[in-house]
Structure 1
């Protein structure tokens, strides 16, 4: 027997309980601009196996178009990719997508010339030939770090210092510094544009007490190598590292 209809002939209404919306996970997209080699293919497979969206580009001509089309979270760019001069491509990519970090892949002999092109707060580089695991790990780490990260490359104007490898470039030219000169420059880069006292430099550079005269001597050595206009003396106060 069918159940009796409700009074007035109204139909039975079963309320629909709305289900909570499940957020769709955001997938990071990486533009992998590397020559088509076995190593780059292995990196591509490793990233895709972990759910990372990857667009491979094997020629410099397609890099900028791919950046515009895919808006990647990270760009990996080989500086010896076939096609246009990759220094120009790198500059165009940075201009087109200024907040997107770049990992440049470079042979060791071109590293010094590359440093002044990198933005120290977001870009990185890997030496070629690279280990597949190393590059894949660097990409994963950079994606986790977000849009900006402290970096081993410090830049002040056209002065670029790689604190990991000890390289220094001025106006794109590599400069050779002694360990003490390098430590002095690194200490000044901690406060670029600010007056740094001789006492503070002495404490940071020398493990034993050093006189203001010794600091002055090494400041003069440093000026000869990076340019006298880049270190300004503030009489009675200390020194300022200018851009």
Structure 2
């Protein structure tokens, strides 16, 4: 993990949340807990976290307002939001497509840990840089993607998949490797294929070549 790997874990004060905290620490994640919306705002102002895990059902002030305040005050901090399925649709409008992510409750702790590591790794490797491959440009400081000078909005999963390919342009990435980088195990090969097709539609089908029996290559 990068030097600034401090994760702020904002979950309700329950036994399940305490178990998540212990499990993340046992996996080597540097994490501090808060249990209400006021605690989130106080913590981001004093601790400068590298990432925020944010439960949309925290006690305290309106959580939509808390999330908006976090995004305004520390726009460089990615958010992994935790939400029940019935609140997913409303949450998506608050997330900054290719910077933030979300998990549906209930979730596996190892999946959360994998998402955390992916977000921290992306932020550390490409902070304040422009990554270019031909006319494909990713501003990783702003989490913006352009193709031929035109902005291309990507979902969090599409962005993570693009970054997994872009870290090794011209090299074949197997579906299994992409699955472990983007979703954590056990994502299916079929799911990778579906998101490859989504990504092709947005950045251009010719930019992602299929190598039969091996995987996918990002090309200029």
CA distance, structure 1, for counterparts of residue 156 and residue 100 of structure 2: 12
Conserved? CA contact 1:105–1:128, under 8 Å:
yes
The aligned counterpart of 2:9 is 32
Equivalent position SS for 2:3: coil
Provide, for residues 149-186 of structure 1, a one-character-per-residue CA deviation record: whole Å limited to 9, x for no partner.
Answer: 989xxxx9xx997888xxxxxxxxxxxxxxxxxxxxx7
Conserved? CA contact 2:6–2:30, under 8 Å:
yes
The aligned counterpart of 1:64 is 41
CA distance, structure 1, for counterparts of residue 25 and residue 156 of structure 2: 32
Kindly tell me: are residues 137 and 90 of structure 1, through their superposed partners in 2, closer, same or farther at Cα, counting changes over 3 Å?
same
The aligned counterpart of 2:103 is 126
1:83 equivalenced with 2:60 (yes/no): yes
Equivalent position SS for 2:41: helix
Per the TM alignment, residue 54 of structure 1 is displaced from its structure 2 partner at its CA by 1.3
Conserved? CA contact 1:103–1:124, under 8 Å:
yes
Task: Write 1 or 2 for the structure with the bigger share of helix.
Answer: 2
Kindly tell me: are residues 85 and 162 of structure 1, through their superposed partners in 2, closer, same or farther at Cα, counting changes over 3 Å?
same
Structure 2 unaligned blocks of 5 or more = 128-139, 145-150, 159-197, 206-220
Structure 1 unaligned blocks of 5 or more = 1-24, 165-185, 192-199, 201-243
Among 70, 95, 115, the alignment partner of 1:138 is: 115
Per the TM alignment, residue 51 of structure 1 is displaced from its structure 2 partner at its CA by 3.7
CA distance, structure 2, for counterparts of residue 137 and residue 39 of structure 1: 19
What TM-score does the superposition give when structure 1 sets the normalisation length?
0.51
Conserved? CA contact 1:30–1:74, under 8 Å:
yes
Kindly tell me: are residues 96 and 190 of structure 1, through their superposed partners in 2, closer, same or farther at Cα, counting changes over 3 Å?
same
| RMSD of aligned Cα (Å) | 3.4
The aligned counterpart of 2:76 is 99
1:73 equivalenced with 2:85 (yes/no): no
The structure with the larger Rg is 1
Per the TM alignment, residue 132 of structure 1 is displaced from its structure 2 partner at its CA by 2.0
Conserved? CA contact 1:115–1:160, under 8 Å:
no
The aligned counterpart of 1:54 is 31
State how many pairs are aligned.
Answer: 144
